Amino acid sequence: MSLPPKLLFQWQRLKKAFSSSLGVQESTPASTVRMCPHCRALIDRDAKMCPLCGEATGPVRARGSITPGRIMGVIPIPTTASSVMVVANLALYSISWYMTQNAAAALGVGAPPMGGIDGNVLMRLGAKAPEIITEHQLWRLVTAMFLHANLLHIGMNMWCLVDLGPEVESLFGTTKFIVLYLVTGVMGYVLSLWWSPFGLSVGASGAVLGLIGILIGASFHHGHLGKEYRSQLWRWVIYIAIFGIFFAVDNAAHIGGLASGLVLGYLVPEGEPATRPSENLWNALAVLSVLVIAASFVLMALQLG
């Protein structure tokens, strides 16, 4: 299946990023092609202008140079909405850590090791808990996405979000990314609530699995190239599933995020909205998503008093 130029170079960006993260080397000879420093599409090595994004490519770089758009050639620089999500998660972790330290000091005991967060603090800040049902605190389905239990927990989730977020955002656009991230994260906790209604759970991993599911769902529209890319994405799922076997994680939230992401990735058109009504719809949904997140934290703050 032939891809439009815009989607082609976006897909090449995705493929290159995941190939790099999994240690897979590109089979295209380095002597004939190179990567555009702006859109990261593979172009002729001697081309002075990228035929896909139209930007000047500049001189040929040495083979050991750092890949543009990635920190130290490895970590993707987060895009707009991805950056906001990362900052929000880090901010909530900082607040919860500070509250944990204060609570431990007041009781005259040591704080949890490894940057651990006290369970009572997580409850106060909006963890997924039975109160969603017993006290109709639906906002916890949202706030739980931004809370983490310790340094390892937030480190793993933010590493995945920084790597996957820019890929989804570049493929679907910022407004769609905001909506998709929220919906898959909430659906993860909906399944978690059904599976374990009395359990306490926090973390962005449901939304992270949602991003993987979105990319897998979208790959079904791209023939052989999509099949190759999809096999790489399933490795992420396998690694996370193995991790879930040995550590106490909310596997139901993972499954809910992944499943909802698969459906949305397959059904939602890629790229920016093609028509004005479609653009208005997605803009409205994105604004609504932001308002839902903001309102959830306002409701959380009100119950703190």
- b/e per residue 200-217 (b: at least 16 CB within 10 A): ebbbbbbbbbbbbbbbbb
CA distance 37 to 52: 12
Q: Per the residue annotation, which of 148, 153, 222, 254 is the catalytic one?
A: 254
Closest C-alpha to 79, from 179, 170, 146: 170
Q: Please name the amino acid found at residue 264.
A: L
Helix axes 205-219, 151-172, angle to 10 degrees: 30
Q: Is 254 a catalytic residue?
A: yes
DSSP 18-61: HHHHTTPPP-S-TTTEEE-TTT--EEETT-SB-TTT--B--SPP
Q: Tell whether the torsion through CA atoms of 68, 74, 75 and 79 is positive or negative.
A: positive
Q: Per the residue annotation, which of 96, 205, 260, 289 is the catalytic one?
A: 205
User: What single-letter DSSP state applies at residue 75?
Assistant: E
Q: Tell whether the torsion through CA atoms of 132, 122, 79 and 29 is positive or negative.
A: negative
Could you tell me where the DSSP H helices lie in the chain? 5-21, 80-107, 119-125, 131-134, 140-143, 151-172, 174-195, 205-219, 223-246, 251-267, 276-304
Residues noted as catalytic: 205, 254
